[in-house]
Structure 1
Amino acid sequence: MTSILARYRQQLTKTLTDWFPRTSLYLKGPETPPTGQPQKKTRQRKAPVAAATTVERLQGAQEQTTPSPAAIYSSDFRAKRAQEQRMRTRVEQAVAAGVIQAPSPEQWKMILAKAPATRIFAGAGSGKTTTLVLRVVFLLYYLEIPQERLTVISFTKASCEELRRQLQRVLAFWEQPLTDEAARELVRTFHSALAQLARKELGVTQWFEQLSGQPAQGDEPENGLLAGATLNDDQRGLLLEAYADCYRQEPGFRRRVHLLLGLEPPTEEIEPSPDLLQPFVLIGERQPSPLPELFYGQACFAEALGIRVGSLKSAQLECSTRDRIFLEAMQQFWRQFGKLLKERRLITFNSAFAILTDRLQKKPSRALIGRLEPFTHLLIDEFQDISPQIALWLQQVQRRLAEEKAGPSLMAIGDDWQSIYGWRGSSPELFIHFDRWFPGSTPSQVLMLGTNYRSSPPIVADGERLLAKVRQKQDKRTQAAREATPEGHGVRVTTRFDLNRQLPLLLAEIEAQRRYASEREKLERCAVMIMSRGNAALKTLNSQLERQPGIRTCTIHRAKGLQAEVAIVLDDGQPLQPHPLRNALYAASGHFQQSYDEACADEALRLSYVAVTRGVSRVLWFTRQAQVAGL
């Protein structure tokens, strides 16, 4: 009887998914939250579920509608009306003193939120940083949450430093001065927060990602490789050493490497030769690279998805024979690399996340539980950029705190429309399906910061038009706070543009836009920002562009959070080429509705959106193509 009902339910769900995708969500019911190990069942590659059109439908339909037995969050913050009124009064005084801008009604909802688990969909230019600072003030000063039980997390050292500066300035007005040391404890990157915990729990002092001949800088490690930095000589040297050791010691590794590189079968001579470092073409990668660097890159990607590289069953993955041989060789290399790191008393950030997640999931010591106190109340910025590995760690941290009756809370602030780090394992699906990862006795509260205070209405409209074909997204609309001006405009596209041949034309355009920006009534700190996906076009431009105040060049990824009067984009807006191996790893993780290639196609459109929404009053786009995708 049970099997008949199951088949009927499955058939009904499939029919509703095909014809009424939103309705089908109601049939899913409570889901088992993801755990530290990838799911073994095959991922069902169904069409992505359409997003709800309102916050209420998102809470009622998309997430579980009954309490989860594994609920982490339960009790709301006990904020009294008098506390809220005192906060509002003091904010009015801060506005009058010119310390902050007056919060909007939607920003006040974030500042005074009572739910223990809250998602804030904060669009481009929505003023989320100031709102986040005021949220911290409310928690510390009015709800009297001890500072040692609160942590604010952002992704980069630069964004953390900006948050600290604003917090110190605002708290000074509240006559609650925050020292530099206290600000560093309060606001951290994920990796500095992890490093603090790993130092005490694992005795870690050195990270592979920070390995260099230079002395360590400060007490705040950052994984520069996540920001697109290349391996340095010391890191590359350690990879080569592990590669050579594995080649000498593992006959199976030698055989697989020779197959991959198209070399004759290995002989009795087991010393590595220069041929073993010839560039290897891995389908989907931007350029050929030596095998040890490719092994490292793909293993890191797998670990970011929450996969234990040593546990991968290559025979069960949907991939080519060539990719399967690559994976098997990668696993052997990764074991040898791990041994070498242990000998050198080094560790990777990925390994530390995995070890601590496992310890928390099994039977953590009282000492480890005590060290979780700073993570009792978490405010995480740019939540759309976290990876499954980080989400699994966060889940275990807050679950243990819940079991200790500490009353944990999590406010996740982000914008799925600006999720642009899929190549390093992040996905907006974690933010969109937040309650599956961080379940509560009731669904998380969902708030929207939908007013764009940066860009003009034409730019906001063109930005949203770029996202029309994105499949995994939260359905929302943004409203421009600025008024359109006759001199401004949305995205103007120059097609079939050849940078090498038409560089003088571009330089003249940049100068014209600089003059336009200098004549504006309100001058932006940056007059003209020129962005590209990669560095090649920027290097060509910088070689001819005279250094002038107010002109900045950067990749689109590094432009996030910045703005300029005029944004100039040099890009084709195209997705990366298909990557079969990463498609297989995506499926093996069991965490995603999309394939990796589908996710990359969405991400290309989101990257274009990020570029466009850097502009205040004008956007110019130069492409080699006949058109820009989405425009």
Structure 2
Amino acid sequence: MPRHTPDLPPELLPLAEMPLFKRLAARFFGHGLTRLRAQHRASWLHGQADGFRSGHTAGVDYGYQEGRAEGLEEGRQVLLIRDSRCTEHPAPKVDEHLFDDWRLPLSAELKKRVKADVARLLPAAAQPSAAQWKMIFSDTPSTSVIAGAGAGKSSTLALRIVLLTQYLGFELDSLTVVTFTRESRKDFINKLIALYALWGRALSQKDARDLVRTFHSRILPMVRSLPGFERLQAFENLSERTLLDDTQVDSNPFDLRINDSQRQQLNACFHRLFTDNLRFRELITPLSRHALQLKELERDHPDVQKRMAVTELAAKRDEELCDVVEDLWLRAGAWPIKGIEPSRQAFEINGATFHCHGYIPSLDAWVVLGFDPQENPQVSRPNAKLTVRAEWAVKRTLFQAFCRKPLIWLDSYQSSKRVLATLAGDASAGPGFDYKVKGELASAPLLDCFVGAASFIENLGLDVPAAVGQMSFAKDDPDRFFFEALSLFWRAFEDHLLDQKPPVMTYNRMFALFSEHSPENLRLLSDELLRPMSHLMIDEFQDVSPQIVSWLRATLGEIRRRGPAMHVGRGAQRSSLLCVGDDWQSIYGWRGSSPKYFMEFSQQFPSPTTTRVMLSDNYRSHQYIIDAAEHIVRAAPAIPGKKAKACGQAGPLLPVQIHDRDEAALGQRLTEHYQKGDSILMLYRKSSDKLLIEKHISSVVNVDSSLPYEARRLKQLTYHSAKGLQADAVFLLGDCQHLTSSPYKNQVYRMAGLGKDGDVEPYDSAQKDEILRLAYVGITRAVSHCYWYVDAQEGPMVNMPRASDRIAAKPFFADQRTGAGSAGGSESGGAPSARDVRQR
């Protein structure tokens, strides 16, 4: 059958498709016209062309419509593929987390059971708050707990341990609770044993001591596991009777006092280095000359101004005074001194002539003999109005202000012996002189200064020689020689300690062995040694140092690297970290600690998920105590959102009383509180303050010290030592003030990445914040009463701020100092004055 397009009109149908009659007629007439040559060929051709064009156009349009319809139908059944592949080739991301992404298996039913048991076994007053339950039930790998003063953190932490062991089946040897001192460790152990007894489990002293540790007692077994170090001793714990059990490592990590055994090692190393190393000897010479020289006084110093008026009179009696003092030294057998040439050299001091007693060629320094404090202070020259001691004090002041020659003033017969040892080159007894690094409050024996500076540098996670190599000092600054000598000495000292039998090592070096700088060393440890670090709970985390942080991160990283194989067949799986602290109680920056690691917890200890808990309830103090302490510390950088609330204190709101310094008045008020039966904390800033107050509270001390220790109600401590304690009445003697600037600590602080960017004095800035935190710690020890006795400030102290500068005319302060009417300045803001509060 012929095929055609049914849509064409009949007149355009092809000839073959016409009816038969029409086809015959068309052919007949067409043939005739051709024979007659009657066709017009050009027209025919044009028509043909026109027809072709129009037919082609019509055909294309028709074909497009028909094809499109068919194509759409078929396209519905065809998958369209576009090339959306990435044209770049990025590397996989690095998993920086210290923990796996996991959760503690805490079901709603289990939580309900734990809460029911706690309600049944603990008294109503000891029931956890909602925030405390959040800490106990934290199920994330890392947890940060901001716990203010008196927040009940230790009780909450103990319940957390009960949850892990009694309900989740964690083994005790998978946990470590870290406390900072022997006292806090002992208290927590007793609390934990008592709590376990309520759950029907007898926790032995040994098991509790294995669980509750200091950082030191965890690092020591790690080092002892290395070949050749099985009997290693810690330098910080050397004593005449060094113990091998873990009781030796509970000492306060912030106590740097050097005992006889430690000094023996220091002196022995000094002697060897001084003998063998020429450069070390060259460095000690300018240090000894600087240390022994009489320290200068500014000419506008009040003592200088007062004694300048008697310069001529003092000069007239000077030779006779020299004779009297020299006779005293001769009778004591302390003069002459080997290495000092007796020579009466004349000096012009403020236009008048004075004399010295000798000359030291090796130091190119002149010597003046002083008045030994052991002599009778009433000794005087014949017919003199002043004592020899007073006359000598005048001469000393004038020499300090106006003598610019190198001059050594021997204050005592004892100091002369140290000078004699130095001049004789007898290094076996140590350097024999004291030194004062710029920024430190007092001078100390040179080797003690070495230990203090090296410990500070290492606490910041730095190597001593490397840090010294990045320091810079003025050409004539003696600290330049001190730190070069320290670099030589400290490396020699570490080697000297390792040569002992058994070997000795500082704790800082132990932590450095297993820090992020030496992760390969951690791979040498067994699973058994690492397992107690799997689930860490650390108290007082705001006082952690960069050195400790590096060790913790490296250890947690190694535990994660070992994976599930480390925990096969055990109830405790994977790892976790819970840190409890209060950045407002960070007060050990002078030893290298920093609240940065607690304030930036999530960044410093990266975890897939972190729980943050804020314990704001204060179960110790009433609201005025809290508000006063927070008002002072709020000027320092802090974790945002902190505001404590008093809970459980029904007594009256008593403001913190501020008084002018008066030891007698303090002693009287303290006695009154003791007679009422109150517990008392007497806190002081300096040991000299304690001596000043003792005679005013001797009656209380005598009574209290005769009681059994547990029954005593009076404790005398420094502000720093009072952390964790409380009393009904707290007496604060002395202000909290930033007194010095430390060039070397500012430099190493920057090396350690501490402080704000662009701050050229980051350590000093940190200390200005720390004095506010120290006052906060002191005030928040009080349950009901707090008395603060501060010294009067003479003149403006722009660069040496004091915590008491923050006292304002607020209801929670009662400022009873002379001239306190202006207290608070712009901060008063119309609030009622302290006097108004007292009258109400």
1:166 aligns with 2:168: no
Shift of 1:145: 1.4
Residues 1:328 and 1:282: Cα distance change in structure 2 (over 3 Å): same
1:77 paired residue number: 104
Aligned equivalent of 1:477, options 640, 643, 646: 643
Task: Confirm whether residue 146 of structure 1 aligns to residue 171 of structure 2.
Answer: yes
For residue 592 of structure 1, report the CA deviation from its aligned partner.
Answer: 4.0
Q: Report deviation, 1:265.
A: 7.0
Farther-moved stretch of structure 1 (246-255 vs 457-466): 246-255
**1:83-142 alpha-carbon deviations (Å, 9 max, x no partner):** 11111111011124x7x7111111111011111101000000000010000000011111
Partner of 1:5: none
The alpha carbon displacement at 1:613 in A equals 0.3
Deviates more, 1:452-461 or 1:288-297: 288-297
Moved more, 234-243 or 409-418: 234-243
Change (3 A) 1:122 1:358: closer
Could you tell me which amino acid in structure 1 is paired with residue 672 of structure 2?
Answer: A
How far apart in 2 are the matches of 1:178 and 1:292? Answer: 45
Quote the RMSD (CA, aligned, Å): 2.4
**Corresponding position: 1:309 with 2:464:** yes
Deviation at 1:482, TM superposition (A): 3.9
SS of the aligned residue for 2:537 comes to strand
Residues 176-197 of structure 1 show CA distances to partners (whole Å, capped at 9, x for unaligned) of 2211111111111111112232
- Quick check: 1:297 aligned with 2:452? yes
Q: Could you tell me how far 1:475 is from its partner in structure 2?
A: 4.3
What pairs with 1:584-623 in structure 2 (closer than 5 Å)? 584-593=747-756, 595-623=762-790
**CA contact 1:226–1:424 (8 Å) conserved in 2:** no
Residue 374 of structure 1, CA deviation: 0.7
Classify the secondary structure of the residue corresponding to 1:371. helix
- CA distance in 1 between counterparts of 2:442 and 2:689 reads 17
Residue in structure 2 matched with residue 491 of structure 1 by the alignment: 656
Letter in 2 for 1:434: F
**Paired residue for 1:207?**
234
- Structure 2: gaps of 5 or more residues: 1-92, 291-360, 365-422, 565-573, 705-711, 794-801, 808-840
> What secondary structure does 2:169 align onto?
coil
Query: How many Å separate the matches in 1 of 2:424 and 2:105?
Result: 68
Distance in 1 of aligned mates of 2:751 and 2:140? 34
Aligned to 2:586: 419
Cα separation, 1, equivalents of 2:157 and 2:267:
44
Matches within 5 A, 1:418-567: 418-442=585-609, 444-483=610-649, 485-486=651-652, 488-495=653-660, 497=661, 502-516=662-676, 518=677, 527-544=679-696, 545-546=698-699, 547=701, 548=704, 549-567=712-730
Q: How does 1:12-411 map to 2 (within 5 A)?
A: 69-73=95-99, 74-96=101-123, 101-201=126-226, 202-216=229-243, 218-222=245-249, 224=251, 226-228=253-255, 230-262=257-289, 271-272=425-426, 276-314=431-469, 316-321=470-475, 322=477, 323-344=479-500, 345-357=503-515, 361-362=519-520, 364-365=522-523, 367-406=525-564, 407-411=574-578
Give secondary structure in 2 for the equivalent of 1:405: helix
Deviations 1:482-501 (A, max 9, x none): 44644x51211112x2xxxx
Q: Which residue of 1 aligns with 2:86?
A: none
Contact 2:148 2:644 in 1 (8 A): yes
Distance, in Å, in 2 between the alignment partners of 1:222 and 1:556 is 23
Deviation at 1:72, TM superposition (A): 0.9
For the 8 Å contact 1:248–1:271, the answer to whether it is kept is no
Offset, 1:370? 4.3
Paired residues of 1:418 and 1:610 also in contact (CA < 8 A): yes
Structure 1 residue 629 corresponds to structure 2 residue 805: yes
Change in Cα spacing, 1:68 to 1:472, as seen in structure 2 (3 Å) is farther
Cα distance per residue 1:213-256 (max 9 Å; x no partner): 13427423336463435211221222122222221122111222
Q: Which amino acid aligns with 1:449?
A: L
Cα distance, 1:148 vs structure 2: 1.3
The DSSP-based 3-state class of the residue aligned with 1:230 is: coil
Identify the residue that residue 33 of structure 1 maps to in structure 2: none
Equivalent pair of 1:361/1:396 in contact (CA under 8 Å): yes
- For these two proteins, the number of residue pairs brought into alignment is 546
Using CA pairs below 8 Å that are at least 6 residues apart, which structure has the higher relative contact order?
Answer: 1
The 3-state SS of whatever aligns with 1:552 is: strand
Question: 2:656·2:786 contact (CA, 8 Å) conserved in 1?
Answer: yes
For residue 319 of structure 1, report the CA deviation from its aligned partner: 4.2
Whether the 8 Å CA contact 2:266–2:430 is kept in 1: the answer is no
Q: Residue 574 of structure 1 corresponds to which residue in structure 2?
A: 737
Take 2:237 and 2:247, find their aligned partners in 1: how far apart are those partners? 11
* Deviates further, 207-216 or 336-345: 207-216
SS in 2 for 1:221: helix
* Contact persistence 1:279–1:288 (CA under 8 A): yes
Cα offset for 1:369?
Answer: 4.6
Query: Per-residue deviation at 1:473?
Result: 4.7
The offset of 1:503, in angstroms, is: 3.1
Work out the CA distance in 1 between the residues paired with 2:145 and 2:771.
Answer: 23
Cα offset, 1:301, TM superposition: 0.8
Q: Note if contact 2:217-2:250 (Cα within 8 Å) is conserved in structure 1.
A: no
The answer to which of 558-567 and 539-548 deviates more is 539-548
The residue matched to 1:209 in structure 2 has which SS?
Answer: helix
Bigger drift between 322-331 and 288-297 goes to 322-331
CA contact (8 A) 2:182 2:252 kept: no
The question of whether the paired residues in 1 share the 8 Å contact of 2:289 and 2:363 is answered with: no
Following TM superposition, the consecutive aligned residue runs of length 4 or more in structure 1 with deviations greater than 6 angstroms are: 263-267
Would the alpha carbon gap of residues 135 and 530 (structure 1) be closer, same or farther in structure 2, given more than 3 Å must change?
A: same
Alpha-carbon contact 1:432-1:474 (below 8 Å) kept:
no
Give me the whole-angstrom Cα distance separating, in 2, the residues matched to 1:313 and 1:294.
Answer: 15
Q: What's the CA shift string for 1:29-81, capped at 9, x where partnerless?
A: xxxxxxxxxxxxxxxxxxxxxxxxxxxxxxxxxxxxxx973111221212111
Q: Residues of 1 paired with 2:505 and 2:256: CA distance?
A: 18
Q: Which runs of 5+ in 1 are unaligned?
A: 1-66, 519-525
Contact residue 749 and residue 755 of structure 2 kept, 8 A? yes
Structure label with greater radius of gyration: 2
Q: Give the residue type in structure 2 aligned to 1:335.
A: R
- Asked if the contact 2:439–2:742 (Cα under 8 Å) also holds between the matched residues in 1, the reply is yes
